[in-house]
Amino acid sequence: MKSTTDATTTSIKSCIEAKTVWDPQKRGFFVPTVRKFKPDWSFHEREHEREDYLAKHKEEVVLLESDVGQRRFEFVMKAVGDSFVQKNYELVELVVRSLMVCTNCDVSATLSRAMSYFDFYTDLFGDLGQKQTLEDDELRESLEMNCFQAFENVDQDGRAMIWGLFCKAKPGDERTSMVQLLKVLNYIIIRTLRNNYSVQKNGFIMLSDMIGLKFENFTFTMPRTFSFMLSKFMPAKIHRVCLLRPLYFVQFILPATRSYMFSGNMCNRFHVLSQDPRDLMHMPLNLRPEILPSMLGGNNNSYNFLNRLRAWRLEEQENEYSNGSSCSGGDDLKEDMLFDTAQNNNRRQRKQESSQTREFAEDSTMDLDSK
């Protein structure tokens, strides 16, 4: 299938470079210079509506593991085209599989969103064949800055939460440049989707935490760019977006920026919390305190994201060793992997369910100020 856009027209890098204009003569005192960077949450809103509908009409649920689901999966993989599949089979298969689970095996929605993501990936990395692994020193060092951290199984539906700590982004530090942070966020999302059926189905909660952030270091580039990326390109549903411990200045301008950042029904899924992280354990989030560290009001004192990264790296090395050179994407391999998808998804779901009670007890106590 032909790409939905040219590789250079996703505008993600232009979004980073765009400036913000303040005009006291304008309503709300906030005027974005370029409206084309306005987030588009339509995909997420449609999937929220689908989720509500299927909750009342369970007979219309289509499982990826079913015969119908498998036929649709194979159709989408063929529609994506060999030019994409051969460049990065593992990524293409994961994105398509995740979106099929997310959209109730809707072929049109899956194909459209997948192609948008591949365009974004090509724009950001230069080539779809460029694979993200923790053997990449730049990626690993950026991850270790702790600007983004991931928590799995944070609520009763098994969603994952990504915690953004923008105070960790150091001006002038290449490890936390906007391009690097986009790559970090992409890696964490894709890595969390892998082997995690409940996240594929129910999506992510995005938490932006302003603790430790100084007014002089605040920039609209981060929220604008991340909202643009998440809303238009990511192959996953965003369940809710939350702002924790906001700066007073940000609270003042929120009425003007809210309608720009979140239009439509997604606006009802954006929540401004207080300075107390225990808000996360109450409605509408109701997160599980045993999953979250004390910095987020939880009681999981064994959590350490750096240990999680080490586990991810070991898993990548084991997969690379077991797969060897067979991951080049040959026709026989593609047919075998398509044939095994149903079994793989069953194993992934069982693995996710069995791991929900294990929350990395071997990890040492988290220290946010270690960097």
Whether residue 310 is contained in a domain is answered as: no
Q: Which pLDDT score, from 0 to 100, does residue 6 have?
A: 45
Q: Are 4 and 119 in contact (CB under 8 A)?
A: yes
pLDDT value of position 321: 82
Instruction: Let me know if residue 100 belongs to a domain.
Output: no
pLDDT at 46: 97
Q: Answer whether residue 35 is part of any domain.
A: no
Measure the CA–CA gap between 311 and 302, rounded to whole angstroms. Answer: 15
Tell me whether residue 301 is in a domain. Answer: yes
- pTM of the shown model: 0.84
- pLDDT given at position 170: 87
Number of domains in the chain: 1
**167 found inside a domain:** yes
Structural domain containing residue 156: 137-305
Q: Is residue 159 part of a domain?
A: yes
Residue-by-residue pLDDT tens, the chain, 371 positions: 656 544 445 778 788 777 655 454 554 444 445 567 889 999 999 999 999 999 999 999 999 999 999 999 999 999 999 999 999 999 999 999 999 999 999 999 999 999 999 999 999 999 999 999 999 999 999 999 999 999 999 999 999 999 999 899 988 899 999 999 999 999 999 999 998 999 999 999 999 999 998 877 777 788 889 999 999 999 999 999 999 999 988 878 787 778 778 878 999 999 999 999 999 999 999 999 999 999 999 999 999 999 999 999 999 999 888 876 444 444 554 555 454 555 555 555 555 555 444 444 344 434 444 44
Q: Which pLDDT belongs to residue 261?
A: 86
Q: Is 314 buried (19+), middle (13-18) or exposed (0-12) by CB count in 10 A? A: exposed
Residue 159 belongs to domain with CATH number: 3.40.525.10
Residue 116 lies in a domain: no
In a domain? residue 194: yes
Where do the DSSP E strands lie in the chain? 20-22, 30-32, 148-151, 160-165, 204-209, 238-244, 270-272
